[in-house]
Amino acid sequence: MRTYQLTTLILCLMMAISCGGQKQEPETTEKPATPEESMAEAMKEAQKAMENANLEQPVEPVNFRKLKELLPQELAGYSLENASGETAGAMNMKISNAKGKYRNSGKEDLVVEIMDTGGFGMGAMSMATWSTVTIDREDDMGYERTGSIGGYKSYERYRNDGSKSNVSVLAEKRFIVDVSCRGCKMDVLHSAIKDMNLSRFKGLE
């Protein structure tokens, strides 16, 4: 992820906070919430929590160089070809990001991204809203659903046409790990997540 992309992400989160505060009239009738409504409600709750947090970040995010060290040389039959990373911030909010590009013998690519929001836990919630809701939808194009991998909240999205599919997990309430590829099977992505050995993130600083 390039610096301007990471900085833009931070600024968007801050704008979401500054634009908050508008009250909505309560619903007069109750009805089951759709996945979209559940997602919107989760975003509102995350925004409220971020407002209460007053943009404080008591814990520095892990330096991206340490995050790069968590990228295995071999992952689900793929070999690491390139690793990059950065730490960027604005105001009191910083985010670290590491990215690994992998390739197998069939010249297929797989990408792993690790993001750390530091002590700004609500920032992680805003970037991983799926971690606070339940999603399970499917159509002729593919599916997306939330679940759990190794005890960590997960989100997966699969496309039948071979376009980008991905699996994301939220570890230790601050690290977002995403594995994506084009044309690969979902079990490859699950295997890659397990090979990341998420227990290594515990106590990382």
Q: Which residue has the tokens 């999205």?
A: 157
Mean pLDDT of the 136-149 span: 96
Whole-model pTM? 0.73
Mean pLDDT of the 124-152 span: 89
CB of 110 closer than 8 Å to CB of 102: yes
Residue-wise pLDDT for 153-185, tens only, equals 999 999 999 999 999 999 988 899 999 999 899
Domain boundaries, the chain: 3-19+33-201
- Beta strand extents in the chain (DSSP E only): 74-75, 78-90, 93-103, 109-116, 136-139, 142-149, 152-159, 164-171, 175-182
Residue 102 Cα to chain centre, angstroms: 19
Joined tokens for residue 7: 């900085």
Cα–Cα dist 44/30, whole Å: 18
All residues at 6 or more sequence positions from 203 whose CB lies less than 8 Å from its CB, including other chains: none
Residue-wise pLDDT for 4-27, tens only, equals 455 455 545 544 444 444 444 444
